[in-house]
Amino acid sequence: MLPFLQIFTLAQAIPVPPPTPIELKEVVQPQEVRALPGQLDRVPVFNSNSPEVVQREGILLSTFPPDNKAVPEAHLNLPLNGRFDLFAHHIARARTPRDTQPMYLGVIVYNPSAKPIKVDILQAVSYVTNPDAPFIDLPSYVENPSGTVYAGPGSRLMNDVLRGIHQSNFPSQIVIPPKQSEMLFNLPIALGNARSTLMRLRSNGPVYMASLAMYGRPNPETKGDRTNRSSPYRAPIREEWQRLLENGNLAAPRDLAPTPLEQADDDIIYGRVAGVAQGSEWRTELVDGSGGKELRIPEPGKAFSYPISTVNMATLGTSQVQSAPMLVRYPDTAYLAHGNYGVHYNLTLPLVNKTRRTQTVTLAIQTPLQQENRDQGLRFLEPPDQPVFFRGTVQVTYKNDRGVSQTRYVHLVQRRGQQGEPLVRLNMPPGDRRSVEVDFLYPPDSTPPQVLTVRTLERSP
């Protein structure tokens, strides 16, 4: 196998049988790679993703003050106010084969002020692997007009958020009395499953928030009653969550500590995120030069690409690290929000054909090999390697060759080194202007970076 930087462990890890060894051929595409214009917004994101695999209950992420807490270092002391998001992804795993207790993921919110505070839940979606979104094998390219194509909770989650869905089991608002706490949610994770959650939130005052992991409590109603089909375990109640917050330690086992950012190493450990990141959306126009208003298509037979979700030591020659900065974090977790899981990329390409002939232009998302320097171009593999590096739905909006507005949803599965199929194919006459919008949320079971490639096909002789 070709050498490459140590990759992320997939956020939603699933067992796969060892592949049959095959010879992988490296394919180099000599093309320009441009830094992605724009930047992340400044919306804070409560990002709870470490430890990914939870086997001992405890605190996953707390922005509470450390005062009067049994383990002060488990609390990062950062109030959240106004617009902020929540992203959480965790896997519950048994410690022994005899374990049967479900794990619960609870998020508790505290109002430190002397007046009631409202937290608006603008959008909220959460899925668990089974039965909501089991991992299934899907083709690399599937039209997904009704949102029924997904594999894994991350894929389904980002698909729903992209479409503006708000699950009915979440309220539209909670009101927190002065100096009191309320549960934002309290959801089970059966052992061996993952739960992925994304919420858009807005408060009218400062609040503290914590995500916690706790095993289900014995259900006294079923004790000794073999005829009762109810679960032998119940969900923890708010008072139990409060005690865990005040007296508990960080959940375990801990993930591998990250490699310092300044340390250039071929064996990088990026780490998983547990903290508050800054940046929920990257909305921009892809244009020629600073202050431009259009994007000239490439010359026939040429292409240029924009990287998506780049990380340090894998910027594809652009030196642009898109990972969201961390406002607060635990010392053994990621220095940046590597992967930008849940970040909304909204990219508009105002294409123009300034040649004298009709040109055929394609847009595609691709997954080149990780590299820091671009050298001769982007590197791909034929056939692509086995690990899945991108699994999610992309929305494209454009006018087709008949001038009719189109909005399409396409579910992509891309493996390491995969060049990908075109999302859009346009036949552009001389002087034609065509705006294309590419819209997606970076899926949490992906491994960056990807690229968005614009290509003008070579004319037939």
Tell me the per-residue pLDDT of 307-328, one tens digit each, with 9 for 90 and over: 999 999 899 999 999 999 999 9
Quick one: 73 and 34 in the same domain? no
pLDDT for 257 equals 94
What is the predicted pLDDT for the residue at 17?
53
More confident residue, 376 or 389: 389
**What number of CA atoms fall less than 13 Å from residue 120's CA on the CB side?**
9
Per-residue pLDDT for 198 more than 90? yes
* Structural domains in the chain (count): 2
- Reported residue count of the chain is 461
Whether residue 5 lies inside any domain: the answer is: no
pLDDT interval class at 100 (50, 70, 90): confident
Q: What span, in angstroms and rounded, lies between the C-alpha atoms of 158 and 167?
A: 13
Look at residue 273 and tell me if it is in a domain: no
Confidence of residue 413 (pLDDT cuts 50, 70, 90): very high
Asked if residue 398 and residue 296 are part of one domain, the reply reads: yes
Q: What is the pTM of this model?
A: 0.92
In a domain, 330, yes or no: no
Whether 350 has a pLDDT exceeding 60, the answer reads yes
Residues 175 and 293 in one domain: no
Task: Answer yes or no: is 276 within a domain.
Answer: no
Element containing residue 83 per DSSP (H, E): strand 80-92
Residues 100 and 184 placed together within one structural domain of the fold: yes
Q: Mean pLDDT lowest for which of 1-5, 9-13, 252-256, 274-278?
A: 1-5
Give me the pLDDT at residue 15, please: 46
Q: How much is the mean pLDDT over the chain?
A: 92
DSSP 271-283: ---EEEEE-SEEE
Looking at the predicted structure, is the pLDDT value of residue 397 above 50? yes
pLDDT > 80? residue 384: yes
357 shares a domain with 305: yes
Q: Specify the pLDDT at position 223.
A: 57
**Least confident among 17-26, 69-78, 233-242, 368-377:** 17-26
Q: Is the pLDDT of residue 392 over 70?
A: yes
Domain boundary among 226, 247, 268: 247
Nearest-angstrom CA–CA distance, 307 and 305: 6
Contact between 340 and 154 (Cβ < 8 Å): no
14: pLDDT strictly greater than 50: no
SS3 content of the chain, % helix, strand, coil (to 5): 5, 40, 55
- With respect to residue 19, please indicate whether it lies within any of the assigned structural domains: no
Same domain for 190 and 63? yes
| Whether residue 227 is found in the same domain as residue 105 | yes
pLDDT over 90 (residue 10): no
- Whether 399 and 366 map to the same domain: the answer is yes
**301 shares a domain with 180:** no
- Domain termination site, one of 196, 220, 247: 247
- Where do we find the tokens 């199929």? 421
* Mean pLDDT for the stretch of residues 135-163: 97
Q: Which token pair is 263?
A: 């340390």
- Structural domain range at position 287: 25-39+282-322+341-456
